[in-house]
Each structure stands twice: as structure tokens, then as C-alpha cells.
Amino acid sequence: MFLGTHTPRLDEKGRFFLPAKFRDELKAGLVITRQQDRCLAIYPKDVFEAEATRAMSGSTTLAKVRDFQRMLASGASEEKPDAQGRLMVPPALRAYAGLDKDVVVIGAINRVEVWDSEAWQAYQATQEAAFAEMNEEISGLA
């Protein structure tokens, strides 16, 4: 399970250090892809494969299913952290998420998300007030 908030920096090659506590789960390989809200999602390869299987279960006769499958797969890139635990973010994905230098890496239970620092601050500010209400609405988690 991925938890916590971390603030690494991208280097000139578009790499950042994965938080040490995430490395074991991701060292065998991972998939980085676009996520809604203009951030990136990093999945362990097996978790991404389960997500892809779920996406494939929909009928491709439905436009929304095709659209989702295309967006998920076309933005995905299989990667492997280097020996120092650095992960290279492909240029197209950096552009999608607006990543430049300061990034925020958050644990999001089954995935890691990578946000532009300013975008994360803005998102967090808008969601903080509604967080307690969301907890009650989502699957009776209260």
C-alpha cells in the first residue's frame, strides 16, 4: 500500500528519486501513465495489468469504453527505477502533468501519483474542505 506525501525534485534529465518506502514494491517494474486531474499514476506492473483487464472488460462498441482504453494505454509507459531508485518520466508524460522541477509524490493506496507542486497545492486546497463529507459519501467509510 502506498501512503504519504513526498517532495522530490526532477533533475535535468526528467528523473526523480522514488521515496525509499515505495521502492521495494516498484523495483520489479512499473507502469507510469496519465491520471485524471492532470497528474501521473505509477502502478506496480501487476496492478496496472489488473486495471487494464478491467478496462478491457467493457464492450468496445461503446465510445466511452474505447475512449478510456485509448487514453489509458496511449499514455502508459513501462519503466524500471535505476540502481539509485531514480525514475525517468518520459517527456510526453512530463508535459501532460506540467512537471518541471518541484513535484509532489503521494501515496494513493494502490498507486503512486506525481503532481506538479503548485497543481497539488491548488487541488489539496479545494478538496480539504470537502474531505469529511466525502468520507461519509464514499462507500460508508465514516
Domains (range + CATH), the chain: 5-137 (3.40.1550.20)
Global pTM reads 0.89
Q: Rounded to an integer, what distance in angstroms lies between the CA atom of residue 61 and that of residue 50? A: 21
Phi, psi of 19 (to 5 degrees): -55, 135
The pLDDT tens digits of the residues spanning 73-124 come to 999 999 999 999 999 999 999 999 999 999 999 999 999 999 999 999 999 9
Q: Rounded to an integer, what distance in angstroms lies between the CA atom of residue 69 and that of residue 54? A: 10
Residues near 13 by beta carbon (within 8 Å), at least 6 away in sequence = 88
Name the least confident of 26-35, 78-87, 128-137.
128-137
Q: Of 92, 33, 111, which Cα lies nearest the Cα of 68?
A: 33
